Amino acid sequence: MEKVITTEPIPIKMWIDEIEEGAMEQAKNLANLPFAFKHIALMPDCHKGFGMPIGAVLATRDVIIPNAVGVDIGCGMCAVQTSLKQLNRKTLIKLLNDIRMRIPLGFKHHKKPQKYEYMPSGYKIDELNVVRREYDRATYQLGTLGGGNHFIEIQKGSDNMIWVMVHSGSRNIGKQVADYYNKLAVKLNEKWKSQLPKKFQLAYLPFDSDEAQLYYKEMNYCVDFAYANRKLMMNKIIEVFENTFGNNFRTAPVINIAHNYAATEEHFKTEVIVHRKGATYAGKDTIGIVPGSQGANSYIVKGKGNKDSFESCSHGAGRLMGRKEAIRSLDLKIEMKKLNEKDIIHSIRSQKDLDEAASAYKNIDKVMNLQKDLVEVLLELKPLAVVKG
């Protein structure tokens, strides 16, 4: 159940028990925006971001804020149940090696462009400034994982079935759109002599302006590109499984959900623009995915449609420490031992990998417990093998 802070012009509703000072300061900045609607919602995985905390939900009237969506537009999760019930270690290693052969990781791209038919359709590309500029380059990045917290994971479900999960976003095209429109918003806010403090890093665009409408179209293209990216990777992973297990291998329909975007929605009988930055839509009966950190369980969930969270939930465990702090302070042998004892084929091999160690993240079980009134857990997924950029 949420806690409420009432020191600011509008309330801050929190599903988090402990919050870092920087994230709290950013949440208070959001609550002081003149166009913020009703209240600010903080999910249990909330931590400091750029401008707006990651794991926060902001509803606005009549404006859209590029930095409240962030640079990895449309980043999200795909998960699929397979027809397999078990995998031995030797087979898992073979599957991982084959996946790495097909899917570029980290900063790597395809050597050839992917088929145009895999790119999002239904858009007039010539009308999209940044997407048009980046389109050809994006065809080389479609179906690539990226780095950071993005991953491919093979898991064992509490339904006794093997699952595959992919976490990735819109690659460079999303960053280019985000950076372009945030800089444009900053420039226009200065021109208008906006009273909004620049240090908030929350420059806005009036939603009825040409600039905002163009950003909204380009942002939605990036959301669709991120899904197309995950879908292509998932198809390649399924091909790897089919090559190993033959025609008897089957999968259920793919579950997909994003966690970095803005959308026009109705809340409290008012049409608003809901910004979810590191937060997942959890409308009533919506099937979603909440991943754990490397080595921790992930969850398939069903939304409860909680109005006070703007029908949202956490997008994962959430960081406990920054990347540099994790690399500097965590013990490599201890982190490797934790994963080895769970018999997980992981990607912690050197000191620089510790930014994605389990100890760099919050406890996912605690996070799930804090949001019982936001989602119902349908399935628990235990990691067997992880691929990271």
Q: Which residues belong to the active site?
A: 315
* Alpha helices (H) in 150-272, listed in sequence order: 171-191, 210-245
User: What separation in angstroms does the CA of 147 have from each of 5, 78, 144, 151, 166?
Assistant: 36, 17, 10, 8, 12
Burial class of residue 245 (count of CB atoms within 10 Å of its CB; 0-12, 13-18, 19+): middle
DSSP letter at 114?
A: P
Contacts 24+ apart (CB under 8 A), 110-116: 110/140, 110/141, 110/142, 110/143, 110/144, 111/140, 112/140, 113/139, 113/140, 114/139, 114/140, 114/142, 114/143, 114/232
* Alpha helices (H) in the chain, listed in sequence order: 21-31, 89-102, 129-141, 171-191, 210-245, 323-329, 332-341, 364-370
Strand 260-267 vs strand 375-388: parallel, antiparallel, or unpaired? unpaired
- For tokens 């369980």, name the residue: 297
Beta-carbon contacts of 163 under 8 Å, excluding residues fewer than 6 positions away, are: 79, 80, 81, 82, 154, 155, 156, 157, 381
| Percent helix, strand and coil across the chain, each to the nearest 5 | 40, 25, 35
Q: How many helices (H) and strands (E) does the chain have?
A: 8, 17
